[in-house]
Each structure stands twice: as structure tokens, then as C-alpha cells.
Amino acid sequence: GAGVSQSPSNKVTEKGKDVELRCDPISGHTALYWYRQSLGQGLEFLIYFQGNSAPDKSGLPSDRFSAERTGGSVSTLTIQRTQQEDSAVYLCASSVGTSGPDTQYFGPGTRLTVL
Amino acid sequence: QQPVQSPQAVILREGEDAVINCSSSKALYSVHWYRQKHGEAPVFLMILLKGGEQKGHEKISASFNEKKQQSSLYLTASQLSYSGTYFCGTADSNYQLIWGAGTKLIIKP
């Protein structure tokens, strides 16, 4: 079956502009994660969705960042008034999510460059 | 609290063995290992759920010492395809994985 897909694969934007990043999780996966990975660094947790529960937004670095998940499937990460420090690869992952931390399947990521 | 991975980087000749460690200051429910090749997304290797549990994946195995709150990843007779950055993710009773900073593994022919 299809894996996690993300779009766009690359996004170049100007400082101050808003961007939307999209994630299509694996069908049937109830858990969805967003991470940020700066060049040569580890994974920084941003937000977590599980089914119909309220999302865990504890990793969002500022109120310029928001995310939603419609219909328990597709998710969009929005960054408002982008800054140069927002430049990074944004990774989405999904998992079955039935019990406890299980295998996360990652999408290819969106490379965001803020000029 | 981010788990600590060691070493930060290791360079091996093809066929040599390596050990990557992951330590946490918190009591752990599980440890997850992933490998990320340059420019690609992380790929799942294995999950360890119990103290002392060991698992294997090809010539890659891992152990999890729940009491010591640490896990080790063992790469035996390394192959060129093993090159990449290895991340451990640790979880307490919660759902959320906390990721280590990664260990970069370079395999030379």
C-alpha cells in the first residue's frame, strides 16, 4: 500500500510569507506526528494527533505554527510570517496508534527554505 | 529529557562491528531505533519493550536494559548499506517519543 506522502517536497519562500505543508498518512493510521529537522540535527517534535482527541501541541515553537487534521486523515502544518530560522525539513509520520508508542512511518519530508 | 546517544559519529571499514548506545535519565517503557540515510526519511529498525529484551534485524541487533535505562544497537560485520545516521527514540508510559541527537555511521570499503 501507499506510504506517507508529503507535499510539496521543496518550498522556497520569502521571510514574512505564510506556508502550508501537507501530509497524507497511511490509510487507517490514527496517529500522526509532525517533526522538524534542521540540517545535521535530530528530530524535533512539533505536534501529535491521535484519533479524535485534542492534539498535543506542546512542541510547537511559537504561535506562528499551527496544524490541523481533517477527518482524521490529511494534516496541514501552517507557518505564518515565516522567519529564516524556520528553514528546515518538516517530516510527517503516522502510526497505527492503537496502544502506546508504536512504529512510526515517515514521509519523505518537505524542505522549507526561507529567504 | 532527550536521550543521550554515543558515540556522535563512527567510521568503520566494511566488515567491522559497531555499538551505538542510547541512555535516558527517565524510566523507559520502550526504545525505538531508526536509521536515516542522507536526504531520506528515517526508517524503522526495531522496538524494544522489556528490560533485557533483545531483537535482531539482519545483522543488526539491540538490547534494552530497563533498570539502567539504556539501550545498545549492535551492528555486526557492517555493510556499506549500513551507512547513515542512527536515532534512538525513547518513550515512557506516554505515546510520545523523545529522540536522541543521532549517531552518524560511515562505512568505508
pLDDT (tens place) for every residue of chain A, 115 residues total:
589 999 999 999 999 999 999 999 999 999 999 999 998 888 999 999 988 888 989 899 999 999 999 887 999 999 999 999 999 999 999 998 776 678 889 999 999 999 9
- What are the backbone angles phi and psi of residue B61, rounded to the nearest 5°? -135, 170
Interface contact flag, A43 B42, Cβ < 8 Å: yes
For B55-93, the pLDDT digits (tens) are 666 788 998 888 888 999 999 999 999 999 999 998 876
Here the cell at position A29 is 493510521
Least Cα separation, residue A79 to chain B (angstroms)? 21
Burial class (CB in 10 A: 0-12, 13-18, 19+), A97: buried
Strand partners, B25: none
Strand partners, B57: B60
* Cα dihedral sign, B90-B4-A47-B62: negative
DSSP sequence for B29-64: SEEEEEEE-TTS--EEEEEE-STTEEEEETTEEEEE
Q: Look at residue A42 in the predicted model and tell me its pLDDT.
A: 85
Among the partner-chain residues A50, A103, A105, the one whose CB lies closest to the CB of B95 is: A50
Residues 47-106 of A with CB under 8 A from B: 48, 50, 56, 91, 97, 100-106
Here the cell at position B29 is 517503557
Instruction: Report the C-alpha gap between B102 and B89 in whole angstroms.
Output: 10
- Answer yes or no: are the C-beta atoms of B79 and B105 closer than 8 Å: no
Chain B CB within 8 Å of residue A9 CB: no
Least Cα separation, residue B41 to chain A (angstroms)? 5
Helix, strand or coil for residue B15? Answer: coil
Mutate to test the interface with A, among B44, B87, B88 (most CBs of A within 10 A): B44
Interface contact flag, B95 A41, Cβ < 8 Å: no
First to last CA, chain B: 37
Interface contact flag, B87 A101, Cβ < 8 Å: no
For B16-26, the pLDDT digits (tens) are 999 999 999 88
Here the cell at position B82 is 549500513
Instruction: Report the C-alpha gap between B4 and B14 in whole angstroms.
Output: 26
Q: What beta strand segments (E) does chain A contain?
A: 5-7, 10-13, 19-24, 31-37, 44-50, 65-69, 75-79, 88-95, 105-106, 110-114
